[in-house]
A and B are shown apart, each in its own frame.
Chain A
Amino acid sequence: MIHSRNLPFVTTLAIFVIAYALCALQFPAMLSTRVIGNLLVDNAFLGIAAVGMTFVILSGGIDLSIGSVIAFTSVFVAVAVGSFGLHPLTAFALVLVISTAFGSAMGAMIRYLQIPPFVVTLAGMFLARGAAYLISTQSVPISHPFIDSVQEFYFRFPGGGRLTAMSMLMIAVFVIGGIIASRTKFGANVYALGGNPQSAELMGVPVGRTTIGIYATSGFLSGLAGIVYTFYTSSGYSLATVGVELDAIAAVVIGGTLLTGGTGLIAGTFVGILIQGLIQTYIVFDGTLSSWWTKIVIGILLFVFIVLQRGIIWYSNRRIDIARLKGA
Chain B
Amino acid sequence: MTDPQNTPEAVTVLEARAIAKSFLGNIALDNVDFSLKRGEIHALLGENGAGKSTLIKILTGVYTRDSGTIRLDGAEVSPANVGEAQVLGIGTVYQEVNLLENLTVAENLFLGRQPRRFGLTDRREMRRRSRELLARYGLDIDVDALLSTYSVAIRQIIAIARAVDLSGKVLVLDEPTASLDAQEVEVLFSMLRKLKADGLGIILITHFLNQVYAVADRVTVLRNGKLVGSRDLDGLPRMELISMMLGRELQHVTRDHQASEGDVPAGDAAIHFSDYGKRGSVSPFDLAIRPGEVVGVAGLLGSGRSETAFLLFGIDRADSGTATVDGREIALTSPEAAIANGFGFCPEERKTDGIIGDFSVAENIALALQARQGWAKPIPSRKKQALAEEFIRSLDIRPADPDRPIKFLSGGNQQKAILARWLATNPRLLILDEPTRGIDIGAHAEILKMIEKLCAEGMSLVVISSELEELTAIAHRVIVLSDRKHIAELSGAEVTADNIMHAIAAPNRTEAA
Task: Show the binding face of A for B, using Cβ within 8 Å.
Answer: 3-5, 179, 182-185, 187-189, 191-192, 194-196, 198-206, 262-263, 316, 319-320, 323-324, 327-328
Contacts and interface: CB of A to CB of B under 8 A. Distances in A.
A203 B146 contact: no
B102 A204 contact: no
Interface stretch (B41-49, B106-114, B224-232, B239-247): B106-114
A189 B101 contact: no
Contacts of B120: 179, 183-184
B163 to A, nearest CB: 10
A52 B368 CA distance: 49
A189 B181 CA distance: 33
B146 A189 contact: no
B117 to A, nearest CB: 10
A3 B145 contact: yes
B145 A203 contact: no
Contacts of A205: 83, 111-112
What are the 10 closest A-B residue pairs judged by CB atoms, nearest first?
A204-B83, A262-B102, A195-B102, A195-B100, A183-B120, A183-B121, A199-B97, A204-B112, A204-B82, A198-B97
Given A5-B102, A192-B103, A196-B101, A206 B121 contact: no
A202 B144 contact: no
Interface size class of B (residues with CB under 8 A): 20 to 34
A323 B100 contact: no
Contacts of B181: 328
B177 to A, nearest CB: 16
A324 B98 CA distance: 20
Interface of B: 62, 81-83, 86, 92, 94, 97-103, 107-108, 111-112, 114, 120-121, 123, 144-146, 148-149, 151, 162, 181
B102 A201 contact: no
B111 A192 contact: yes
A59 B331 CA distance: 44
B97 A185 contact: no
B112 A203 contact: yes
A203 B100 contact: yes
A188 B102 contact: no
A194 B107 CA distance: 14
A112 B394 CA distance: 46
Q: Is the interface of A mostly helix, strand, loop or mixed?
A: helix
A195 B82 contact: no
A323 B149 CA distance: 9
A184 B100 CA distance: 17
Nearest to A5: B146
Given A194-B102, A196-B101, A203 B149 contact: no
A202 B92 contact: yes
Contact of B97 (A191, A196, A204, A319): A196
B107 to A, nearest CB: 6
B98 to A, nearest CB: 6
12 contacts: A179-B120, A183-B123, A191-B100, A192-B103, A195-B102, A199-B100, A200-B100, A202-B98, A203-B82, A203-B108, A203-B111, A319-B149
A183 B114 CA distance: 9
A316 B148 contact: yes
B149 A316 contact: yes
B67 to A, nearest CB: 25
A300 B463 CA distance: 55
A204 B99 contact: no
Nearest to A194: B102
Contact of A199 (B81, B98, B148): B98
Contact of A202 (B94, B103, B151): B94
Given A320-B148, A328-B181, 10 more contacts: A5-B102, A185-B121, A194-B102, A195-B100, A202-B82, A203-B162, A204-B81, A204-B83, A206-B83, A316-B146
Given A192-B111, A205-B111, A199 B99 contact: yes
A188 B151 contact: no
Given A4-B146, A204-B82, A185 B114 contact: yes
A262 B120 CA distance: 20
A189 B112 contact: yes
B94 A3 contact: no
A202 B107 contact: no
Contacts of B114: 185, 188
A191 B100 CA distance: 9
Given A204-B83, A204-B86, A188 B97 contact: no
Contacts of A201: 82
Contacts of B94: 202
A86 B148 CA distance: 54
Contacts of B144: 3
B102 A324 contact: no
A323 B155 CA distance: 14
B146 A196 contact: no
Which of A179, A188, A203: most chain B CB closer than 10 A? A203
